[in-house]
Every structure is written in structure tokens, then in C-alpha cells.
């Protein structure tokens, strides 16, 4: 589903960040079968990079039901998106990549992102590479509000689903609210990325208000 062009982009950005010594881990939110994270872990291992972890954040049971009006409640009905944790872990195991350099965080983003955020903050770790594939407005907002301020200056954020209007609107809404202007670079017809040029404090009160307006809270599977 990712295709070669996006994989080549991941490799190039990883190499650039390693060369530039941008600190931080690789985090993917919305992994489906885990191919992008598997590829990133393989690149890091091939380069003998041992101080960067690969984090996979996903419900491993598909997407949640929409909890606010900007999303259509159709994603949760797509059974082909429901891939179990064990299915995602198996290729890592087969390739000898299921080790201390990989971490899995299970649950819908509203619930699964706060714990790794706290873990990264507690261990004084950052993110060098954030790959977002939430598809929905609310999922994209969850990712940005939980992780944006952990991305190092010089680090990059890929929006895999930038062609999906709800995801694009969430990115634009978040950036506008925080007064951020970024240079968004096209990868292909579906995805884009931008790199962080300044430290930003995320408005947690704004996100709390967003969560209060959800019609139903997404619960961890």
C-alpha cells in the first residue's frame, strides 16, 4: 500500500537525520501491516544505529467510530484495515528485527498516545521522525496534539494520508491554531511531509476542549 516512492522517502529522511545528528526515535501512528516501520527498523539495523527505537502505535483492530462531526463513520467498517498485533509482529520476528529496538503501543490514539508520550518525556527522549497515517480528522488531531512538541528541530513529519480531506484539514487546523507556517513537500499524489524548524508548545487546553466535544470517547480495544 505504501509503494516504493514513499519507502525511498523514508530512507532518505532517515539518512539525512542520522547524518545531521537530529536526536530522537522513529514513531509511526497507524501502521496497518507494519511495513513502513519494518523498513525503518531494517534501515537503522543495517546502519548499526542502536540508540533510536521504532515505535508502532495502532489499535491493531482497525479504526474507531467517528466521535465528532468532521469525520464520516465509515472507517471502522473497513475490515481489511483490522490487522492484529501478532500479524504485525511476525515479519519483524522472521527478519530478526523483533528486539529491544521496537516498541508496540496498542489502542485507539486518544488512549494509546499519552503513555508513550509520558515515557519519552520521562526518559528525556525525543522524536526525529513521525509518520502519521490516521485517515480521520480526530485521529490526526490526537497524533499532533500528543506528539508534535516532542519532534526535534530538524526532525520531520510525514502525513501519509494528506490527500484525505479530513486528515489534511486536521493538520491545517492544528498548524493555524499554533501560528505555524511549514514548507509542506509533496511525496506523491497521496502523501506529503514537512520538517520542524522551531520548538513549539502545544496548547493542551485547546486539545482538552476538543476531547470534551466528542460525542463518544474512543476506548482502547
Structural domains in the chain plus CATH codes: 3-212 (3.40.50.150)
Confidence of residue 78 (pLDDT cuts 50, 70, 90): confident
Compute the distance between CA of residue 18 and CA of residue 10 in angstroms, rounded to an integer.
12
Share of the chain above pLDDT 70, in %: 97
Cβ distance 158 to 191 under 8 Å? yes
Question: 117-174 pLDDT, tens per residue?
Answer: 999 999 999 999 999 999 999 999 999 999 999 999 999 999 999 999 999 999 999 9
Nine-digit cell at 159?
502525513
Question: 30-56 pLDDT, tens per residue?
Answer: 999 999 999 999 999 999 999 999 999
SS3 annotation, the chain: CCHHHHHHHHHHHHHHHHHCCCCCEEEEECCCCCHHHHHHHHHHHHCCCCCCCEEEEECCCCCCCCCCCCCCCCHHHCHHHCCCHHHHHHHHHHCCCCCCCEEEEECCHHHHCHHHHHHHHHCCCCEEEEEECCCCHHHHHHHHHHHHHHEEEEEEEEECCCCCHHHHHHHHHHHHHCCCCCCCEECCCCCEEEECCCCCCCCHHHHHHHHHCCCCCCCCC
Determine the pLDDT at residue 143.
Answer: 98
Q: Buried b vs exposed e over 113-145: b needs ≥16 C-beta within 10 Å? A: beebbeebeeeebbbbbbbbbbbbbbbbbbbbb
Residue 2, pLDDT > 90, answer no
**Catalytic residue list contains 8:** yes
> Of the given ranges (20-24, 57-61, 77-81, 204-208), which has the lowest mean pLDDT?
77-81
Determine the pLDDT at residue 219.
Answer: 43
Return the number of other C-beta atoms located less than 10 Å from residue 214's C-beta.
13
Identified catalytic residue from 8, 77, 208, 209: 8
Nine-digit cell at 154?
530538524
Confidence of residue 26 (pLDDT cuts 50, 70, 90): very high
Determine the pLDDT at residue 204.
Answer: 97
Determine the pLDDT at residue 100.
Answer: 94
Confidence of residue 218 (pLDDT cuts 50, 70, 90): very low
More confident: 221 or 125: 125
Residue found under cell 480528522: 137
Cβ distance 131 to 159 under 8 Å? no
Dihedral sign for Cα atoms in the order 207, 208, 213, 218? positive
Confidence of residue 91 (pLDDT cuts 50, 70, 90): very high
Determine the pLDDT at residue 104.
Answer: 98
Average pLDDT, rounded, for the chain: 94
Residue 216, pLDDT > 70, answer no
Amino acid at each position: 500500500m505504501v509503494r516504493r516512492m514513499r519507502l525511498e522517502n523514508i530512507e532518505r529522511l532517515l539518512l539525512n537525520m542520522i547524518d545531521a545528528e537530529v536526536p530522537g526515535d522513529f514513531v509511526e501512528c497507524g501502521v496497518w501491516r507494519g511495513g513502513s516501520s519494518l523498513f525503518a527498523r531494517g534501515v537503522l539495523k543495517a546502519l548499526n544505529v542502536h540508540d533510536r527505537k521504532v515505535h508502532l502505535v495502532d489499535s491493531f483492530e482497525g479504526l474507531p467510530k467517528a466521535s465528532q462531526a468532521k469525520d464520516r463513520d465509515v472507517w471502522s467498517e473497513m475490515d481489511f484495515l483490522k490487522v492484529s498485533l501478532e500479524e504485525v509482529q511476525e515479519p519483524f520476528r522472521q527478519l530478526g528485527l523483533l528486539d529491544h529496538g521496537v516498541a508496540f503501543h496498542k489502542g485507539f490514539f486518544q488512549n494509546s498516545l499519552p503513555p508513550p508520550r509520558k515515557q519519552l518525556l520521562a526518559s528525556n527522549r525525543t522524536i526525529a521522525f513521525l509518520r502519521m497515517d490516521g485517515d480521520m480528522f480526530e485521529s490526526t488531531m490526537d497524533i499532533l496534539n500528543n506528539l508534535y512538541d516532542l519532534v526535534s528541530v530538524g526532525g520531520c513529519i510525514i502525513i501519509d494520508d494528506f490527500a484525505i480531506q479530513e486528515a489534511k484539514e486536521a493538520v491545517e487546523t492544528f498548524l493555524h491554531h499554533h501560528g505555524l507556517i511549514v514548507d509542506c513537500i509533496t511525496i506523491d499524489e497521496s502523501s506529503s511531509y514537512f520538517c520542524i524548524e522551531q520548538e513549539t508548545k502545544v496548547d493542551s487546553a485547546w486539545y482538552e476542549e476538543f476531547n470534551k466535544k466528542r460525542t463518544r470517547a474512543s476506548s482502547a480495544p
